[in-house]
């Protein structure tokens, strides 16, 4: 454990974060740049005394739980989190489960795509970020529980609204097959994550189709680059589907765009105006 370097690193990370970054009021008497020590301690769920001793290079080696709390409180990037562990003499082990934290730059990217529906999907097929057009195009994910935002669960267990599987997309069966194959790889990467193992067990017991696909041990096929969704308000929309991997987070950004000048592009423009309101329901 390098106490001096650890102290300097913690202090430098603390001073770069503004109260607004973590949802705290700035106040009018703030003299220190960034966060106060007691604010970091509160966010990391440790005592102010212990955190102060860490910054003074006088504390004993922090546990992995404390390091995880500090990384979360200080909004450390993955490389910074690894560096923190090494400074503390506790090299990080493999991630226990798929990351659900979306980089701010990726969230901003989604916001800057007003004419494209875009989502971020975790390795377990949970939708963890989306822009406004995606909510109008697919579903208002903010109104759903975490459980119901999992696309693999929706594909195999429903609900299938109006008898249509997964938003009425034309390649729903192919998507389900790919999801089963990729979940097998996810389960291999995160064998100790209870959410992943629980999801697989739930799908195997609740869907004969998933159980059959799971037991086939097939490898993942190539992506579908064009697909058609059936939207309850504007009808069929054909979109290009591009997937961008975020390797360091084991996530992917999925972007749906329509060909310029096509009826589908006009439909997406209409949805961007309608938003998530239900115009088919009488007021």
Tell me 40's DSSP state. H
Q: What percent of the chain has pLDDT over 70?
A: 89
Which H or E run includes 257?
Answer: strand 251-257
Q: What percent of the chain has pLDDT over 90?
A: 45
- pLDDT band at residue 28 under the 50/70/90 scheme: low
**Average pLDDT of the segment spanning 171-199:** 90
Distance CA 32, CA 9 (A): 16
Lowest-confidence range among 91-100, 132-141, 205-214, 246-255? 91-100
Beta bridge partners of 84: none
CB count in 10 Å sphere of residue 217:
8
189 pLDDT higher than 60? yes
pLDDT in tens, 54-109: 999 888 888 888 888 898 888 888 778 888 988 898 877 666 788 888 888 899 99
Q: What is the pLDDT of residue 283?
A: 35
pLDDT in tens, 146-175: 899 999 999 999 888 777 888 889 888 889
CB 183 within 8 A of CB 152: yes
Q: What is the mean pLDDT of the chain?
A: 87
Tell me 219's DSSP state. P
Q: Helix, strand or coil for residue 101?
A: coil
Q: What is the pLDDT of residue 123?
A: 93
Beta bridge partners of 238: 228
Distance CA 5, CA 257 (A): 48
pLDDT in tens, 247-261: 888 899 999 999 999
Q: What is the pLDDT of residue 279?
A: 42
193 pLDDT higher than 80? yes
Place of tokens 């961008």: 244
Q: What is the pLDDT of residue 75?
A: 86
CB 106 within 8 A of CB 246: yes
Tokens of 146: 């975490």
CB 67 within 8 A of CB 84: yes
């Amino acid at each position: 454990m390098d106490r001096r370097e650890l102290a300097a690193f913690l202090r430098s990370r603390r001073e770069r974060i503004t109260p607004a970054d973590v949802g705290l009021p700035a106040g009018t008497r703030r003299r220190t740049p960034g966060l106060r020590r007691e604010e970091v301690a509160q966010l990391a769920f440790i005592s102010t005394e212990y955190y102060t001793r860490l910054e003074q290079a006088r504390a004993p080696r922090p546990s992995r739980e404390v390091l995880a709390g500090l990384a979360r409180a200080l909004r450390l990037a993955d490389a910074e989190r690894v560096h923190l562990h090494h400074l503390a003499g506790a090299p990080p082990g493999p991630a226990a489960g798929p990351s659900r934290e979306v980089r701010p730059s990726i969230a901003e990217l989604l916001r800057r795509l007003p004419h494209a529906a875009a989502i971020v999907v975790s390795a377990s097929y949970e939708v963890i970020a989306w822009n406004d057009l995606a909510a109008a195009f697919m579903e208002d994910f903010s109104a759903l529980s975490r459980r119901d935002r999992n696309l693999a669960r929706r594909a195999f267990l429903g609900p299938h609204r109006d008898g249509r599987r997964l938003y009425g997309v034309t390649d729903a069966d192919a998507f389900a097959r790919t999801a089963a194959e990729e979940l097998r790889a996810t389960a291999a990467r995160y064998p100790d994550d209870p959410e992943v193992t629980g999801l697989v067990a739930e799908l195997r017991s609740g869907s004969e189709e998933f159980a059959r696909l799971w037991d086939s041990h097939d490898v993942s096929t190539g992506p579908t680059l064009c697909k058609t969704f059936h939207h309850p308000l504007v009808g069929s929309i054909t979109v290009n589907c591009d997937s961008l991997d975020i390797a360091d987070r084991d996530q992917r950004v999925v972007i749906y765009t329509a060909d310029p000048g096509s009826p589908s592009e006009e439909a997406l423009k209409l949805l961007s105006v309608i938003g998530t309101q239900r115009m088919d329901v009488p007021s």
